[in-house]
Amino acid sequence: MSERDGRRVSRSSKKRARKRRRIALFVIEMLVLAGVLIGLLVVLKLDKADTGNKESVIKATVNEEVQEQIEAEDNTWKMSGYKNIALFGVDSRDNNLDKGARTDTIMVASLNNETGDIKICSIFRDTYLNVGNDTYNKANQAYAKGGPEQAIQMLNSNLDMDITDYITVNFEALVDIIDDVGGVEIDVTEEEISFLNDYQIGTAEVTGDTIINVTKPGLQTLNGLQATSYCRIRYTKGDDFKRAERQRNVLTQVANKAKKADIATLNDIIDDILPKIKTSMSKADFVEYASRAATFNIAETSGFPFDRITGNMGKAGSSVVANDFANNVVLFHQFLFGDSEYTPSATVLEISDKIAADRTKNGL
């Protein structure tokens, strides 16, 4: 090859390299622009949401031992670097999202800020716990008695957590967002059909949606009313444990579809859901997480307590009772935070002893 030909090849290679860089920059710019647009949409719509409870929710305390471990240099509990949020779903017939509403769904969502992975753990609503005021009852009593603040206090005290933020939604919000993303794919069993259709009646009385009965088992797309009613089933094999699993399945599908949605769909979701939620999170929080939504991934879901029995616990009635409560909290931390060397605090050990004593007293 002559020197002249070599210079031509070199110039051609440089042009192709510049073109590739321009294409890469264009793609990056489009991704950044999409994040900005999502954030802007949230800002424009956020006034519709009830975001005025930041101060009261922070009054829910974090155990001193937990705070010390989060701030410790050796970080053996592995809790730093995570954002932990309480998710509540309420059966509200009068749009009440505060004290007095029943929490059919209680979840802890833990976001790994470094990887974007989210782990979700249901707290079974009938779990026998210290409900946040040193009385023992079913977990769903905390929100009914003291709203989100007491419910968060319950989670922090029983599970050695550091939660200060929450999002509460009602049935209508769930129905709307499922419809907005085009429904969810559910493998409906023969046993579930009659319960699903029955629950549609009560749910439709709240939402005003038209009932379309499910007529056959198998994998199929459920609309918002159908999928929300599916989430409410608790009388098939697996009882409330299977119910919580259904809820996590639907939530995971909605999240995966929402993060792939176009701007028009996101706009519909924001319009539909924000007037029907109650949250401690600020506009700045929403903008931050909305702009990062495409990088999040629901990595794993589970339910607490992991090892349990069901039985009558006196005034609390039929409850879910942990076998060795403290050990279940260890498993909870390992599920959320990986190779955590967590050891239960004095508060959790005291709660564990009380639950064990009450279980013995009630012959379980």
HSE of 89 in the Cβ direction (CA atoms, 13 Å)? 23
Q: H or E stretch including 116?
A: none
* Average pLDDT for the chain: 85
Q: Are 362 and 313 in contact (CB under 8 A)?
A: yes
- The burial class, CB within 10 Å (0-12 / 13-18 / 19+), for 288 is middle
Measure the N-to-C terminal CA separation of the chain; round to a whole number of Å.
89
Tell me 99's DSSP state.
T
Residue count of the chain: 364
Map residue 324 onto helix, strand or coil. Answer: coil
- Position 77 scores a pLDDT of 94
The Cα-based distances of 253 to 176, 184, 220, 328 in angstroms read 14, 6, 13, 27
Question: Per-residue confidence at 9, pLDDT binned at 50, 70, 90?
Answer: very low
Q: What is the CATH number of domain 49-164+280-361?
A: 3.30.420.590
Residue 19 has pLDDT above 90, yes or no: no
* pLDDT tens per residue across span 81-130: 999 999 998 877 677 888 888 888 899 999 999 999 999 999 999 999 99
Residue 39 has pLDDT above 70, yes or no: no
- What number of other Cβ atoms are within 10 A of residue 37's Cβ? 15
* pLDDT tens per residue across span 271-303: 887 778 888 887 777 777 777 777 888 889 999
**Buried/exposed 346-362: b ≥16 CB within 10 Å, e otherwise:** ebbeebbebbbebbeee
* pLDDT tens per residue across span 141-170: 999 999 999 999 999 999 999 999 999 988
- Cα–Cα distance for residue pair 42/36, rounded to 1 Å: 10
Classify 174 in phi/psi space as left (phi over 0), alpha (psi -120 to 50) or beta.
alpha
What pTM was computed for the model?
0.81
Question: Per-residue confidence at 55, pLDDT binned at 50, 70, 90?
Answer: low
Map residue 146 onto helix, strand or coil. Answer: helix
Tell me 294's DSSP state.
G
| Mean pLDDT on 339-361 | 96
Q: Which CATH superfamily is domain 174-253 in?
A: LCP protein (3.40.630.190)
Share of the chain above pLDDT 90, in %: 52
Lowest mean pLDDT among 111-125, 156-170, 250-264, 336-350: 250-264
- Cα–Cα distance for residue pair 83/70, rounded to 1 Å: 12
Ordered by start, the domain boundaries in the chain are 3-46, 49-164+280-361, 174-253
Q: Who wins on pLDDT, 62 or 39?
A: 62
Question: DSSP states of 173-238 as a string?
Answer: HHHHHHHHTT-EEEEE-HHHHHHHHHHHHHHHHHH-PPP----S-EEEEE-HHHHHHHHT--SSTT
